[in-house]
Structure 1
């Protein structure tokens, strides 16, 4: 794909135009500058589906294997709200240019089923954990998640759904935070109304949610709670040295948790140095 398309995406986002290149509906065939062939479904949820595609330009040059995520057709009553939510997801994720954030390259929000194209993941953290990971592998993966979430917080975004399924592994063993569907922009409080109308209760996955999140209260420290729950899920608790870090992340009162991801990173780094020695 290359930097040219990424440049187009960023410029259009700054201008407020979320449709970067009009490619057409999700189907095989020629669409504007590109065409893509649907290969297979990779996964689906309540509101969307992800498919593996092969992308080509109009000269039939193979650009590579990618993933396309598109919004499902739902009932007319909720369709408008879900389309706005999907547009927010695309805009926020595309604005996060970081090694440990999944990139978005192309999108079309004008068609009946809006979609975007991103890199194709080899697996997610959930699958890797089920297959068995070494302690070093877990530590490396969690460090990458910390890097991605810190970058988001620095930009004023809360993820609100940190869990293994939303951490994807790409070529070279690089893990990236993905799925911005529940992201909150701390600089735009009114945009939260879009999600509040869709989700009656707290947003997120219960096991990874901070106590206050069930009441609809989200801060950087609620994401930090989720990071602690992720460490626990990764069974880093088998090493006693990590227990204090997990405990501080997951304190019931948010004021007792780490004040920032940077503070968590520093404590985690010191702990790792005491556990893993070359």
Structure 2
């Protein structure tokens, strides 16, 4: 059967029987890993390959175009569309640490139309990669984080904030980190539609929330008597980057009030301070992205990189 706009229905439960016609080439659809698709908040990911051996990842929106604006899943479908638009914009000049965007389209499943996009297929998630590489040196871990930081900086250059930085949203291809999943991304210029739709919502991954994201969930729909910061912006990404840096170095997450003695993987005071300054509660006092880049460059010098 053909996966394509206006084509016959397909069965996502039997991907090996399905063919997608993408940019004039036929691709066989299969599960990404094992015998089940990889499902996220807004989409489901498969792998596709053609007779020439070209292999990519296919991400299909969970919610059809027919989803009514009043339906609870309408916002999730809109996030999927925004993710496609964000990839289209930022892929105009490719960056080696952003997952490669190949193209987008739509397909039919049970007489409903679903949006999809195609991206390069990676080897591992960051977490799986680190599990396979337990003996990475602290120098290698700093370099790994620096590449991820460069990718986030690239997105910020388009005035785009990721807002969902975590280990699962960094993939590895040929030992290079690739930032993926722009489903929660938002632009610096205020989008009143997004603000209205997301008011009081928990934005981001559990365990990785910035204080602003928590405030948004807890107080944005109240009188907010103390004018607590509910804006998830550039420094919210910095907060999550601080958590990710700690995770890459040590394998766990910093929670609560941290001390230098909690970072047992390295005795470098400057490494600890770089992370600590990312995790400052107030976004006004927190390190900026440029400030973090400067500290990481200092770390590279300190560690001879």
TM-score by length of 1: 0.80
| Structure 1 residues 20-70: Cα deviation after superposition (integer angstroms, max 9, x where no partner) | x969677623636121101223421233211111035xxxxx261100011
Question: Residue 87 in 1 paired to residue 77 in 2?
Answer: no
Q: Distance in 1 between matches of 2:19 and 2:236?
A: 44
2:207 alignment partner, SS class: helix
Change (3 A) 1:29 1:230: closer
Name the Cα RMSD after superposition. 2.5
> C-alpha separation between the residues in 2 aligned to 1:231 and 1:113?
36
Q: What secondary structure, in the 3-state scheme, does the structure 2 residue paired with 1:204 have?
A: coil
Match of 1:37 in 2: 28
1:165 aligns with 2:198: no
Residues 70, 115 of structure 1: 8 Å contact kept: yes
Q: Is this contact kept in 2: 1:93–1:102, CA < 8 A?
A: no
The partner residue of 1:147 within 146, 150, 154 is 150
1:124 equivalent in alignment to 2:125: yes
Conservation of the 8 A alpha-carbon contact between 2:162 and 2:186: yes
Q: Distance in 2 between matches of 1:220 and 1:46?
A: 23
Point out 4+ residue stretches in structure 1 off by more than 4 angstroms: 21-27, 73-76
User: Which residue in the other structure is 2:189 paired with?
Assistant: 187
Cα displacement string for residues 179-234 of structure 1 (whole angstroms, at most 9, x for unaligned residues): 0010011225124247517xx53201132221111123212111101110111122
Once the two structures are TM-superposed, the CA of residue 104 in structure 1 deviates from its matched residue by 1.3
Unaligned residue ranges in structure 1 (runs of 5+): 1-20, 57-61
2:284 to 255, 258, 262: 255
The superposition leaves residues 133-166 of structure 1 with CA deviations (integer Å, 9 ceiling, x where unpaired) of 3323312221111001111112111110101110
User: Could you say which structure has the larger radius of gyration?
Assistant: 2
Q: Find the partner of 1:136 among 134, 139, 143.
A: 139
Whole-angstrom CA distance in 2 between matches of 1:80 and 1:257: 34
Equivalent of 1:46 in 36, 41, 44: 41
Cα offset, 1:109, TM superposition: 4.3
Correspondence for 2:293: 265
**CA contact 2:236–2:283 (8 Å) conserved in 1:** yes
Alpha-carbon distance in structure 2 between the residues aligned to 1:157 and 1:30: 31
Judging by fraction of residues, say which structure has more helix. 1
Q: Is residue 240 of structure 1 aligned with residue 277 of structure 2?
A: no
CA distance in 2: counterparts of 1:205 and 1:231, whole angstroms? 16
TM-score by length of 2: 0.73
Go from structure 1 to structure 2 and tell me whether the alpha carbon gap of 1:137 and 1:124 turns closer, same or farther (over 3 Å shift).
farther
* Change beyond 3 A, Cα 1:38–1:164: same
Cα distance change on mapping 1:49 and 1:273 into 2, 3 Å: same
